[in-house]
Amino acid sequence: MAQAKLYPILDVDYSATRGIDIFALVRFWLDFPEYIKFIQLRGKSTSLQEYKQIYKNLIKENPNLKIIVNDHWEFASEVSAFGIHLGKEDFAGLRESELTRFCQIPCLKGTSSHSLEDIRNLDLKIWDYTGLGPMFPTTTKVSGYTTLGPEILKKAISISNIRIVPIGGISVQNFPQVLLSDQILPASIGAFSEKKDFIKIMQVLIEKQNSLEK
């Protein structure tokens, strides 16, 4: 995870409403192996059966693709997925027996945080990274949480012992504001799914990287 620079979220619903071919999009992302090491597969309105089929088709087409499964942790365990993302609320809803099974799954595990208090309360024995957001106003995901902004992100970096994944409302315009540390891993649905925006974001990232190397 330390080498990844960007964390694309393949959102089935978002792609469907915009006519985006998810398989072509993944092939596009895989053209940037230095920056993208894995993706997350998200399908909030997708049935579990359909989700499983999409996952299997993605792996069939791209055998080396590393996928973080959103929500469906039992399925992730069945297929030995690279990782699982389980949000704060869903994790809190696990029964004791489920919690035990979840913690025993040998894979990368990520959750979500919406405040500095959430980050302080994370169990570092369980989590490898935490999403933090929404960073900026967003319409891609309605969460009801307060927009945090770069200042909270700075504080989060200073107190966190795991990697921070800023998410929510990230765009070409505000992307530079989240490039604060090697400890962060920017994630996005919209900005990374639109190829023109993604190319511009890559340019910003490369320029930032080059400036740090001088």
The mean pLDDT of the chain is: 95
Residue ranges and CATH numbers for the domains of the chain are 7-213 (3.20.20.70)
pLDDT at 114: 97
pLDDT in tens, 15-27: 999 999 999 999 9
Average pLDDT of 45-65? 98
Summarised one tens digit per residue, pLDDT across range 69-101 is 999 999 999 999 999 999 999 999 999 999 999
Q: Is the pLDDT of residue 139 over 80?
A: no
Binned at pLDDT 50, 70 and 90, residue 39 comes out as very high
Q: pLDDT higher for 112 or 139?
A: 112
Q: For residues 117-136, give the mean pLDDT.
A: 97
* CA-angle at 66, arms to 102 and 31, nearest 5°: 155
**Alpha-carbon span 123 to 37, nearest angstrom:** 24
pLDDT per residue as tens digits for the range 162-212: 999 999 999 999 999 999 988 899 999 999 999 999 999 999 999 988 876
Residue 124: C-alpha distances to residues 63, 85, 111, 119, 121 (Å): 31, 15, 11, 10, 9
> Per-residue confidence at 11, pLDDT binned at 50, 70, 90?
very high
pLDDT of 142 reads 62
